[in-house]
Amino acid sequence: MISLELESFAYDDGAVLTGIAFSLGVGERALVVGASGSGKSTLARVLAGQFDAGQGHRFLGTLSVAGEQLVFAGSGSDPRIDPAAWAQHVGYVGQRAHAHLSMVCATVAEEIAFGLANRGVAAGRMHALVDLAAVRLGLSDLLDRDPRRLSGGELQRVAIAAAVVGDPGLLVLDEPFKGLDVAGRRDLELLLAALGENGTAILQFEPMLPRDTDPATRVLVLSGGSMVAVGPDARCGEDLGRYGIGVDGTVPDAAPLASVVKDGGMPAVRIRDLSFGYGAEPVLSIAALDVSSGEAVAVLGPNGSGKSTLLQHLNGLLRPDAGTVQIYGEDLRGRPVGSLASTVGYLFQDTDQQLFEHTALREVAYGPTAAGLPRKEAERCAHEALTAVGLADVVHRHPHDLGFCDRRLVALASLMATGPRLWVLDEPTVGLDLRGRDILARLLWGHLGDGGTLMMATHDEAFARAVSSRIYRIGAEG
């Protein structure tokens, strides 16, 4: 179905991939694993035809899909890939799944059908294909919902449904399981198995080796932009560790949580009779929730249960329709969001939404500057935070030039630089490799050891149990 002979692939600022060759036949499945910066997401985009030869990219090699071979010599005369034609053969979902959606459609059904409609698929056929994709991914009850009101995990499933609805011969999926609940992961795995049996080739890209990887799945290991291991032997945990790759679900090494002493005084978070909805659509209802100062609470629950909605009430991004939210004894009603930054540090589920400055240093220094610190003092705080997350050497890099994992760590450093007592983290482990997870665990323990408080929403229960003193569940996992 697909064959790649890649001598090199480079952006204007230097080579990213070198010496990669492999092929994938009809119905075959391969797993590509690599730490942040290994080049796996770049390779995924190349295979998905998401590049413009000669326009900031230089590709030397050949790429064959569905029997058509394209030869690239790194020149302006290289073949151009027609995205619409390519999408008929290759379905692609990148790290930021919702970026593949139009987000202008009124309903989930329209969003899934968007590509089919652009190809002129007959209405009756289109409806049948959308319904089938929705059933396979557990989206049937959401087809009439506004996509902009979905959770991150629900959007992930919508993006995958939009990629598979046209029945492409090849699926390229970059971290497709991230943010999915138990039912969502099960539905997606069943779908991928069924697609493989029907002849779809599948390439899955991950920063960690999934614990339940099928022995029949070929594993390709990337490091430094090159393929360093292929085949069943690539599963060896010791070898993977050499390349900064861990096994998904592994609990990070860190100080025992028992060393954290809780403060018996005023609660950091106190919620009473909270209810919230979008118009007539109820989203969240909490009778009572207290979080002690110095406590670490992990919020678990299925996609769409209101985890992110709950967290967004803790820094005033959302305001309850009824009830009260108090942070360290102060009611948040009428309190401007910006005034809470030095008390409540918030990490978005999609941390790219938080990054807007031209360098990592300016990004991380923004919060302390806005809080009134002199420029030099703000930059000192930013340097300390970037060093703490292991990114002291990227201070002058543009945040969006960094890999997915490092972008998330820059956002975490931005939170830390203002010195908030309460850290509110939404899916903090998503997209993190072994190094990133270890850094995150160490920082969380340090914050708690210093008397700070943590609330985080996550589907990573193993990590949650490793760093949290209490699990708070919303809804019921299936």
> For the segment 16-26, what is each residue's pLDDT rounded down to a tens digit?
899 999 999 99
Q: Which two tokens stand for residue 387?
A: 């060093």
Evaluated on CA atoms 317, 318, 319, 323, the torsion sign reads: negative
- Does the pLDDT value for residue 261 go beyond 50? no
Predicted confidence at residue 13, as pLDDT, reads: 65
pLDDT grade for 334, boundaries at 50, 70 and 90: confident
What mean pLDDT comes out for the span 120-130? 94
Predicted confidence at residue 477, as pLDDT, reads: 59
Under CATH, what is the fold of the domain 257-473? Rossmann fold (3.40.50)
pLDDT grade for 259, boundaries at 50, 70 and 90: very low
Lowest mean pLDDT among 101-105, 170-174, 205-209: 101-105
Predicted confidence at residue 258, as pLDDT, reads: 43
Q: In whole angstroms, what is the distance from residue 57 CA to residue 81 CA?
A: 13
For residues 152 and 349, the answer to whether their CB atoms sit within 8 Å is yes
Beta bridge partners of 220: 32, 230
Mean pLDDT value across the chain: 89
Predicted confidence at residue 244, as pLDDT, reads: 87
- Does the pLDDT value for residue 198 go beyond 60? yes
Which superfamily does CATH assign the domain made up of 2-242 to?
Answer: P-loop containing nucleotide triphosphate hydrolases (3.40.50.300)
- Does the pLDDT value for residue 283 go beyond 70? yes
The vertex-363 CA angle with 359 and 369, nearest 5°, equals: 125
Which pTM does this prediction carry?
0.89
Predicted confidence at residue 55, as pLDDT, reads: 61
Beta bridge partners of 69: 64
- Does the pLDDT value for residue 452 go beyond 90? yes
CATH 3.40.50.300 in the chain is located at 2-242, 257-473
Lowest mean pLDDT among 60-64, 276-280, 465-469: 276-280
HEC per residue, the chain: CEEEEEEEEEECCEEEEEEEEEEECCCCEEEEECCCCCCHHHHHHHHCCCCCECCCEEEEEEEEECCEEEEEECCCCCCCCCHHHHHCCEEEECCCHHHHCCCCCCCHHHHHHHHHHHCCCCHHHHHHHHHHHHHHCCCHHHCCCCHHHCCHHHHHHHHHHHHHCCCCCEEEEECCCCCCCHHHHHHHHHHHHHHHHCCCEEEEEECCECCCCCCCCEEEEEECCEEEEECHHHHCHHHHHHCCCCECCCCCCCCCHHHCCCCCCCCCEEEEEEEEEECCEEEEEEEEEEECCCCEEEEECCCCCCHHHHHHCCCCCCCCCEEEEEECCEECCCCCHHHHCCCEEEECCCHHHHCCCCCHHHHHHHHHHHCCCCHHHHHHHHHHHHHHCCCHHHCCCCHHHCCHHHHHHHHHHHHHHCCCCEEEEECCCCCCCHHHHHHHHHHHHHHHHCCCEEEEECCCHHHHHHHCCEEEECCCCC
What mean pLDDT comes out for the span 237-243? 73
